[in-house]
């Protein structure tokens, strides 16, 4: 029976969730110096010519309905990467300082964690005190462990008191939800805790069976979670811990009503609510004011784009020249692991077929692909069995894909925030990265 359920298991390889980096600050949420959520101003390059054709960018966090009054020129995508030696972040705590169960400390060591990352160092103590938290962090900063570790400890204590307690974790995409569940299994090994991944594209009857058998962690996307609530299968009346991961992305994807509906099914009294987001848009701010009680605000945002990413544009006239220039880039030495973004699903499929015909080892993921196919393709890319992955923005947030050398925006992104999150897939862990954006010639 245990092999068929989402039962915690030890990690088979070093987890990417713990190490040192960053330069954070921490303050109470009701401070006057919150990060700006206004329009990003145009940055012009001194070494490049002006470009007459400029896209209009939509404001993130508003469902794509609002637009910037300013137009942002293509020089926004041009910046020389610099390997700048920053003063390393010095953690206030070690993992040994956190009053975790001995088994959890063993799991942390097995996962290969060394020193807490900034978001972990600052968020874990507040979460363990039962406080609401709003955490602003770029992707890849270790925030999954920042909320999983204290919540596993919390559930372990309630199990010892024979109290029924459930944790709900919402994420914008199936891939991120499944990745969180995989991390949970590694970190909760030995505790007798079960989880269920409630995501579309995978058999709902299997998820229903697992919920009826009893789970401590419900991890999923808003659409499938709402379906299970409406089917009277998922009861959140014992859910006193709610996590919204990549909350801004969920709003961008149109999940606001589902998010509000789902949170409304959890107890209002005694609920601990944790929001994690890369931006603080007006809509996110409204949600925090509605659901967070005296929250601790933590920000480890390190900047708009990584300093060690070379950013440039590629000018091309028409489809044929665009494909020829992409072919040249992919054949260059150093283009070892390339992530290509396109705006539309059918364009992803078309480009995948074009590159496959040209002899490249390529795969693709987007919302119309079956979950099993998306998971398999991601695994092939992570394991270097294919070296080119073409995707819609389903791959822009949250996913941990190591050693990506190039991010290519084959289509100009709709928002600058989207651009920032896309190129954040490369130049990670102190390595050099390259980001290229195709623009009209």
Last residue in a domain, options 249, 276, 299 = 299
Domain assignment of residue 46, yes or no: no
Asked if 351 and 407 sit in the same domain, the reply is: yes
- pTM of the predicted model, to two decimals? 0.70
Q: What is the average pLDDT across 59-70?
A: 37
Residue 160 domain boundaries: 2-24+89-299
Domain identity same for 311 and 272: no
Boundary (domain end) residue, out of 249, 265, 299 = 299
For residue 65, tell me if it sits in a domain. Answer: no
Inside any domain, residue 58: no
Last residue of a domain, one of 242, 274, 299: 299
Residue 296, pLDDT score: 96
Whether 59 is in a domain gets the answer no
% of the chain surpassing 70 pLDDT: 78
| Residue 32 domain flag | no
C-alpha angle 161-262-418 in degrees, rounded to nearest 5: 115
Q: How far apart are alpha carbons 242 and 263 in whole angstroms?
A: 8
Kindly state whether residues 339 and 195 are assigned to the same domain.
no
Please say if the pLDDT value at position 13 is more than 70. Answer: no
Stretch among 55-59, 161-165, 177-181, 320-324 having the lowest mean pLDDT: 55-59
423 in a structural domain? yes
- In this structure, the answer to whether residues 10 and 147 fall within a common structural domain is yes
pLDDT of the residue at 441: 83
pLDDT of 355: 97
Of residues 266 and 382, more confidence is placed in 266
Q: What band does 414 get if pLDDT is binned at 50, 70 and 90?
A: confident
Q: 25-28 and 296-299: which strand pairing?
A: antiparallel
24 pLDDT band (50/70/90 cuts)? Answer: very low
My answer on whether 337 and 431 are in the same domain is yes
Total structural domains in the chain? 2
Same domain, yes or no: 216 and 352: no
Stretch among 95-104, 182-191, 346-355, 368-377 having the lowest mean pLDDT = 368-377
Q: Which residues contact 238 (CB under 8 A, 6 or more apart)?
A: 164, 165, 166, 267
Q: What is the CATH number of the domain that holds 104?
A: 3.40.50.300
Would you say residue 39 lies in a domain? no
What's the first-to-final CA gap in the chain, in angstroms? 60
Using one digit for the tens of pLDDT, what is the confidence trace for 313-341?
999 999 999 999 999 999 999 999 999 99
321 shares its domain with 249 = no
Instruction: Classify residue 55: in a domain, yes or no.
Output: no
What pLDDT digit, counting tens, does each position of 262-321 carry?
999 999 999 999 999 887 888 899 999 999 999 999 998 765 456 778 999 999 999 999
What is the percent of the chain with per-residue pLDDT over 90, rounded to a whole number?
58
Q: Are residues 210 and 183 in the same domain?
A: yes
> Within 13 Å, how many C-alpha atoms sit on residue 349's CB side?
7
| Predicted confidence band of residue 82 (pLDDT cuts 50, 70, 90) | low
Is 120 in the same domain as 249? yes
Domain check: are 145 and 261 in the same one? yes
Residue 370 has pLDDT above 80, yes or no: yes
Whether residues 139 and 188 share a domain: the answer is yes
The pLDDT tens digits for 419-435 are 887 888 888 766 789 99
pLDDT tens digit sequence for 115-146: 999 999 999 999 999 999 999 987 667 899 99
Residue 399: band (very low, low, confident or very high) from pLDDT cuts 50, 70, 90: low
pLDDT of residue 32: 36
């Amino acid at each position: 029976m245990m092999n068929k359920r989402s039962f915690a298991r030890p990690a088979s390889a070093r987890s990417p969730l713990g190490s040192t980096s960053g330069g954070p600050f921490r303050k109470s949420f009701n401070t006057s110096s919150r990060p700006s959520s206004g329009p990003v101003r145009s940055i012009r390059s001194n070494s490049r010519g002006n470009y007459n054709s400029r896209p209009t960018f939509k404001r993130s966090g508003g469902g794509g309905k609002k637009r910037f009054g300013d137009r942002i020129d293509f020089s926004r995508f041009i910046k020389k990467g610099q390997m700048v030696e920053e003063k390393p972040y010095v953690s206030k705590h070690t993992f040994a300082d956190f009053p975790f169960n001995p088994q959890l400390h063993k799991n942390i060591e097995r996962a290969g964690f060394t020193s807490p990352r900034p978001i972990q160092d600052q968020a874990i103590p507040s979460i363990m005190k039962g406080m609401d938290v709003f955490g602003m962090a770029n992707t890849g900063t270790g925030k999954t462990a920042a909320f999983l570790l204290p919540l596993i400890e919390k559930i372990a204590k309630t199990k010892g008191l024979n109290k029924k307690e459930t944790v709900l974790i919402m994420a914008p995409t199936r891939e991120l939800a499944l990745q969180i569940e995989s991390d949970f299994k590694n970190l909760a090994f030995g505790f007798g805790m079960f989880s269920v991944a409630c995501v579309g594209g995978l058999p709902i009857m299997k998820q229903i069976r697992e919920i009826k058998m009893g789970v401590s962690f419900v991890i999923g996307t808003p659409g499938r979670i709402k379906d299970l609530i409406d089917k009277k299968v998922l009861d959140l009346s014992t859910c006193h811990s709610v996590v919204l991961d990549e909350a801004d992305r969920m709003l961008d994807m149109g999940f606001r009503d589902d998010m509000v509906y789902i949170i409304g099914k959890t107890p209002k009294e005694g609920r601990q609510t944790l929001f994690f987001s890369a931006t603080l848009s007006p809509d996110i701010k409204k949600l925090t004011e509605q659901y967070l009680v005296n929250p601790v605000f933590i920000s480890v945002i390190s900047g708009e784009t990584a300093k060690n990413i070379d950013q440039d544009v590629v000018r091309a006239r028409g489809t044929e020249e665009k494909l020829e220039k992409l072919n040249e880039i992919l054949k260059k030495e150093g283009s070892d692991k390339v992530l290509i973004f396109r705006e539309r699903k059918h364009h992803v499929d078309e480009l995948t077929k074009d590159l496959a015909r040209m002899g490249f080892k390529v795969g693709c993921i987007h919302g119309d692909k079956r979950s099993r196919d998306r998971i398999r393709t991601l695994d092939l890319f992570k394991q270097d069995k294919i070296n080119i992955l073409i995707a819609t923005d389903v791959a822009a947030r949250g996913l941990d894909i190591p050693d990506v050398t190039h991010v290519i925006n084959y289509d100009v992104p709709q928002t600058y925030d989207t651009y920032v999150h896309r190129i954040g897939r490369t130049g990670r862990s102190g390595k050099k990265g390259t980001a290229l954006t195709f623009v009209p010639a």
